[in-house]
Amino acid sequence: MRVIIMGATSGIGQELARMYHKSGHAVGIAGRRLENLKQLSLELSACPYAQIDITCDDAPKKLQSLIERLGGMDLYLHVSGIGKQNRTLECDIELATVNTNVLGFTRMLNHAYHYFAGQRGGHIAVVSSIAGTKGIGVAPSYSATKRFNNTYIEALEQLARINGINIAFTDIRPGFVDTDMLSRDFHYPMMMSVDKVASSIVKGIQKRKRVLTIDWRFRLLVFFWRLLPSSIWVRLRVA
């Protein structure tokens, strides 16, 4: 299988690249940090890589070049995203999050969808978050953009079925993962290690899971907080 990982310069994406390479798959890696890509490429037997900023208009063209250098693509794994707590609601933080998690996300998934439509099949997997299931007051744009991710791939799946295209979709929803994206100023409950999360993702994609909420504790948490009416939810102190 030929796997392209967008957002492979650190954290979950980096660990996924290692796991797929170790399993014998052809891996192409992409992200913004060039030095990290070079180092990871050397670690993974000089696998092809591309410096891509998904917020830029030329990102799809660079992705297509990476696909061609890999010899094709069977799985597009989108791990690229940003997010942080924004208790003071700073506008720059909100807009930067939207730019990456909505505009950049849409830009890259659009290209992946058209590529797989052209070859009449493939698999698109997206790392979203359990935060997309509810609006979280301390991270408004993050939770809202993750909801966008959830809904967008659901819509793409329906579109693929309407057009008779065999594209599989996996919405990966982790809870708190021990990566650089989380601020060290706060305590996060039920923190999960990167290798555990990456291993669960690989297994879930192999089984072609449609929605993959990682760790039974977070599945239970999401089940119960979905039952709460909005009138109660907005009064809770979350995080």
How much is the pLDDT for 100? 97
The more confidently predicted of residues 200 and 191 is 200
Average pLDDT, rounded, for the chain: 89
Burial of 76 (0-12, 13-18, 19+ CB in 10 A): buried
How much is the pLDDT for 28? 98
Q: Which residue blocks in 26-58 are alpha helix, DSSP H?
A: 34-43
Q: What is the DSSP string of 130-182?
A: GGGGS--TTSHHHHHHHHHHHHHHHHHHHHHHHTT-EEEEEEEE---B-STTS
| pTM of the entire predicted model | 0.90
Question: Containing domain of residue 53, as a range?
Answer: 2-233
- The answer to the question of residue 239 being in a domain is no
3-state secondary structure of 36: helix
- The answer to the question of residue 238 being in a domain is no
Q: What is the CATH number of the domain that holds 191?
A: 3.40.50.720
pLDDT tens digits along 147-189: 999 999 999 999 999 999 999 999 999 876 555 555 455 545 5
Count of the separate structural domains present in the chain:
1
pLDDT tens digits along 88-126: 999 999 999 999 999 999 999 999 999 999 998 999 999
The answer to whether 31 and 217 are in contact (CB under 8 A) is: no
- The answer to the question of residue 135 being in a domain is yes
Q: Is 216's pLDDT higher than 80?
A: no
Q: Is 235's pLDDT higher than 90?
A: no
Nearest-angstrom CA–CA distance, 230 and 232 = 5
How much is the pLDDT for 38? 97
Q: Identify the DSSP state of 32.
A: S
- The answer to the question of residue 119 being in a domain is yes
Residue 214, sorted as left (phi over 0), alpha (psi -120 to 50) or beta, turns out to be beta
Gyration radius of the chain over CA positions: 17
How much is the pLDDT for 179? 59
- The answer to the question of residue 200 being in a domain is yes
Mean pLDDT, range 192-209, rounded to an integer:
91
pLDDT tens digits along 62-76: 999 999 999 999 999
Q: What is the DSSP string of 88-104?
A: T--HHHHHHHHIIIIII
The answer to whether 29 and 41 are in contact (CB under 8 A) is: yes
How much is the pLDDT for 84? 85
- The answer to the question of residue 156 being in a domain is yes
* Per-residue tokens: 225: 């907080």
